[in-house]
Structure 1
Amino acid sequence: MKKIVFILLACMQLGTLEAQNGNHFPKQDYDYFLDFFATRDRNTHQKALIYINDNWSEDFEALAIESLYFLKSPSTSSKLLNILQKKTGKNYTYDFNQWYEYLWNKDATYNEGYYFFKAALHRAIDSRFAKYFLSRQGQSKIRLDEVRWGGVIQDGIPPLRNPNMINANQARYLEDDHIVFGISINGDTRAYPKRILAWHEMFTDQVGGVPVAGVYCTLCGTVILYKTEQNGVQYQMGTSGFLYRSNKLMYDKKTQSLWNTLWGKPVIGPLVDKGIELEYLSVVTTTWGEWKKRHPETKVLSLKTGHDRNYDEGIAYKDYFSTDELMFNIPEKDKRLKNKQEILAIRLPGETEENIAISSKYLRKNPIHTGIINQKNFIVFTDKSGAHRVYFNKTIEFVAYDGQSTATDSKGNSWKLEEEELINTKTQEVLKRVPTHNAFWFGYKAAFPEVTLIK
């Protein structure tokens, strides 16, 4: 997501947000920060600066930093920066990564007014943004000062809804070494090329009769497949335009609640604390050649998406993927792995808080890996393309794997690796698949600070 340069002016419609929310207040502290965007009048700006300086409190820090991020008046920006630096004793100038890290590495200081400020400030970009913060009903599971605009409007990166799928032999635009994200539900097998999905970051569809959303956070390297129906409720998901710890936040159309992509839970809005957590399914990151070899019957995304994009391999986010630098910073980096080094995530939501991340580099060197989560044995098979498949293992010892579709146990039995299960070809014994997905290390660690790393 790229930062869009814009000017926030009279369209702020100050005061209407409180009125729409049923509240009528005298001028609040945050209103003085909004004055910078409501008018170009220098006298108004000067009065606001005097008020901010004379009435400074720690809860002004988030307001000031976020105002500076968007301010386009050099004179006002310089004066506000001087106040911020003087009050905090920090001289970070316009290095917003340093300002945000300073803010995030101490207890939150903002007050209730910050929600109104955030709604008013971002409403000028997209009127729908205000609902994210005003419909919260006092509920938030994440720090609001860590919620940052990613540079686009709601669904500005357009999800693919019920996208056109074609047969494998029709996908002449794909080469065997192109990266795809493979899924299989109830025998319905599909491939979503990275070169297409990176431009859309989400697809919604019925796969194998199951309503799903595949969510691709390009910034944190994660594709997660969620069942979007829970307890009889069908959630219509979209891309909010906001990030939390460099991880995209989803929203649901009905309530405009914000959802954490990696958690599968609503984190701001009316749905928070309602016991909602979407079930996720496995996604295999592999090559088109390996996927179609395993699944000649697979469907694959058509280039006819209804959108005009350059879908050539490696074009989308080319600069971002080519370095280890982040586009949006996080509170703290864990240097045990490089930021964008890929890991396999293994967790069992609803069963345990245990969380395991295994370096994909390690798994390539160890194509058979066993482990335990929540007192359950699991086994990871990593094929020649680097794709991982994980199964609950009981007590069976596997001694060989051909790097494709066949594993052998210590008794000489042959097992076939399927997308939803591992099958003993002689006895037909079945080991069920463990839902997993890949991610960049930095983003996964930021979402799950207590994760156990294997490398």
Structure 2
Amino acid sequence: MMICFVLVLQTDWLLDLCSADIAAQRRAMLRVSSSEDLAYVPSLIELMLFCPDSQDAIGSLVSNLTGESRGDYLDWVAYLGANPSIVANAGYLRLRYQLFSSIDSRLAAFFSKPQPTTIRLEEIVWGGVVKDGIPALIDPKHVTALEATYLEADEWVFGLAWQGEAKAYPLRIMDWHEMANDTLGSRRFALAYCTLCGSAIAYSSRAGGRLWTFGSSGLLYRSNKLMYDHQTNTLWHQFSGEPVFGPLVDDGLKLDVLPVERTTWEDWRSRYPNTQVLSLDTGYERNYEPGAAYGAYFSSPKLMFPVWNAGDNKGQKDWVWMLRKPGAQKAYSLNFLVKNPVFVDHVGQSDVLLLTDPDNYSVRVYELTGNVVTRKDGSWWLESEKGSAALDMDFPKDVSGSMLQRVPGHFAYEFARRAFMPEIPYQP
């Protein structure tokens, strides 16, 4: 009981910094400034977001405590991320619960009690929407390619193909939903799309012997969406496919990455004429015109949220292809792949073939498995001990006519590679 009482005291008086009662506000400011305790800094930065009328005064407090000068709330978020030695005091979790409760009780529930975590709680920030404010699609309606008359030939889609089936997910729809829980063949999967870092990653929904479905939490970590599972309310990292805050953190779970493609509707339809396509009838009222949701962000070189460990701003939204082979990963700049549309690389324990369509900026990767790529008379060939065969750029097959095995991967902005996988080999 005493512990709970102390936690209440540690957070409730801090709320006086936002009070209209000038005397109470001054007492709180004096208490913070006289403490010289950096453990208050995360709470103060959080209050800057929720108390805009007091942002300047609270910012001055943070400056006095840290000896640093920054601008607005987001500038201080970047500072906090870059200084992991600043650890919040025991009342921080309760303060976040109180503040988020004023917005959305479901959002606040993530902070209702201490949870196992692999990331700094201080770096989890609000993305500006309530929990499920960006609603996930669960077993959405699909139409045939002929019925998808709303699509223009040159607009982008995410495409998945497996076991003779294909499905396309137009960006004009996915920009508004960022998550599709669906089935392809006999496989349940989640297409987890972070618009802020440009990454649409297809994950197998099965992990740890269970099937999971996911939604968008409304929270971010280094400008990457934190998704959550509907079964336990654990927060998962969209880029790694791992639980990072909540009851599943210690279970050793990690979602398997599946092949996904980003290309134009015309290209996808030409290769998969029997493809299914997301229907505009999603059950939600949205403006599904291309670019309506994030057009301004996609066309800007700037980020919405700071990423302290992503280096300088140069090329931060350049496209990179993240090859996510099990046990071995590598990143390639799209500029490099466009210049080398047929490229063989050694990744992990085997050779892989990267095929890039320079016209549609699509990338597909395959295991070569004993095959060698050669160039003869202006054409590409696959050769093995069994003979040779012309390289089919759309559906590459070995000499026996068997399809080469796809290797998982996805696009992302350059800043996401720097922030989340700086250690993997990179081909600029």
Q: TM-score, normalised by structure 1?
A: 0.87
- Secondary structure in 2 aligned to 1:330? coil
C-alpha distance in 1 between matches for 2:332 and 2:137:
30
Aligned residue number for residue 201 of structure 1: 178
SS, match of residue 146 in structure 2? helix
Matched AA of 1:48: A
Q: State the match for 1:413 in structure 2.
A: 389
Separation (CA, whole Å) in 1 of partners of 2:366 and 2:188:
24
1:105 has 2:82 as partner: yes
For residue 408 of structure 1, report the CA deviation from its aligned partner.
2.1
Amino acid at match of 1:264: G
Report the Cα offset of residue 135 of structure 1. Answer: 4.4
Matched, 1:226 2:203: yes
Gaps of 5+ in 2: none
Q: Does 1:90 align with 2:68?
A: yes
CA deviation string 1:252-308 (max 9, x = no partner):
122211100011010001100211111121110100011000000001111122222
Contact 1:367 1:401 in 2 (8 A): no
Aligned residue identity for 2:28: A
Q: Deviation digits for residues 45-64 of structure 1, max 9, x if unmatched?
A: 22222221222301111111
Aligned in 2, Cα 1:437/1:189: closer, same or farther, shift over 3 Å?
Answer: same
- Cα distance in structure 2, aligned partners of 1:251 and 1:374: 31
For 1:389, the equivalent position in structure 2 comes to: 364
1:132 aligns with 2:110: yes
Equivalent position of 1:181 in the other structure: 158
SS of residue in 2 equivalent to 1:176: coil
Partners of 1:335 and 1:88 in 2: CA distance: 23
**Cα RMSD after superposing both structures:** 2.5
Shift of 1:319: 1.0
Give the letter aligned to residue 413 of structure 1: A
CA contact (8 A) 2:309 2:418 kept: no
1:392 deviates by 1.2
Deviations 1:375-403 (A, max 9, x none): 22111011241211101123422235999
- For structure 1, the 5+ residue unaligned runs are 1-17
Q: 1:166 to 1:429 in 2, by over 3 A?
A: closer
Match of 1:283 among 260, 278, 298: 260
Is 443-452 or 161-170 further displaced after alignment? 443-452
Displacement of 1:101: 2.4
One-letter code aligned to 1:162:
D
Query: Structure 1, residues 40-84: CA drift from partner, whole Å, max 9, x if none?
Result: 3333322222221222301111111121122133xx444322222
Deviation at 1:430, TM superposition (A): 4.4
C-alpha change, 1:135 and 1:212, in structure 2 (3 Å) is farther
- Matched residue type, 1:125: I
Q: Which of residues 21, 37, 54 in structure 2 aligns to 1:41? A: 21
Look up the match of 1:363: 337
Tell me the equivalent position of 2:47: 67
Following the alignment from structure 1 to structure 2, what is the Cα–Cα distance between the partners of residues 401 and 381?
A: 17
What's the secondary structure of 2:111's corresponding residue? helix
Q: Does 1:52 align with 2:27?
A: no
Aligned residues: percent identity? 35
Q: Residue 136 of structure 2 aligns with which residue?
A: 159
The alignment's TM-score, normalised by the length of structure 2, stands at 0.92
Maintained 8 Å contact 1:423/1:431? yes
Structure 1 residue 329: Cα displacement: 0.8
Post-superposition shift, 1:142? 0.7
Shift of 1:31: 2.9
Q: In structure 1, how many angstroms separate the alpha carbons of the residues matched to 2:172 and 2:374? A: 36
Letter in 2 for 1:392: E
For 1:128, what is the secondary structure of its paired residue?
A: helix
2:425 counterpart of 1:452: yes
Query: What is the total number of aligned residue pairs between the two structures?
Result: 423
User: Is the CA contact (8 Å cut-off) linking 2:7 and 2:94 kept in structure 1?
Assistant: no
Report Cα offsets for 1:151-172 as digits up to 9, x if no partner: 0001101112211100101111
Cα separation, 1, equivalents of 2:376 and 2:176: 36
Over 3 Å counting, the alpha-carbon distance change for 1:273 and 1:373 in structure 2 is: farther
- Amino acid in the other structure paired with 1:196: I
Distance 1:244 1:150, change over 3 A: same
Aligned partner letter, 2:13: Y
Q: Please point out which of 123, 139, 142 is paired with 1:146.
A: 123
CA gap 1:68/1:335 in 2 versus in 1, 3 angstroms = closer
Counterpart mapping for 1:329-344 below 5 A = 329-335=306-312, 338-344=315-321
* Separation of aligned partners in 2, 1:302 and 1:270: 35
In structure 2, C-alpha distance between the alignment counterparts of 1:359 and 1:59, rounded to whole Å: 40
User: Separation in 1 of the partners of 2:220 and 2:313?
Assistant: 24
Amino acid at match of 2:303: L
Compute the displacement of 1:417 (Å): 5.4
Structure 1 residues 150 and 114 mapped into 2: Cα distance closer, same or farther (>3 Å)?
same
Q: Which residue of 2 aligns with 1:25?
A: 6
Query: What is aligned with 2:222?
Result: 245
AA matched with 2:57: K
Give distance in 1, aligned partners of 2:238 and 2:329: 16
Aligned equivalents of 2:185, 2:107: Cα separation in 1: 34
Alpha-carbon distance in structure 2 between the residues aligned to 1:142 and 1:112 = 17
Q: Verify the 8 A CA contact 2:166 2:275 in the aligned structure 1.
A: yes
- Residue 292 of structure 2 aligns with an amino acid whose one-letter code is I
Give 2:42's aligned amino acid: A
Specify whether residues 47 and 348 from structure 1 end up closer, same or farther in structure 2 by C-alpha distance, changes over 3 A only.
Answer: same
C-alpha separation in 1, matches of 2:36 and 2:43: 11
User: Which residue in the other structure is 2:94 paired with?
Assistant: 116
**Equivalent position SS for 1:369:** strand
Q: 1 CA distance for matches of 2:13 and 2:377?
A: 66
Distance 2:376 2:285 in 1: 43
- Residue 273 (structure 2) aligns with: 296
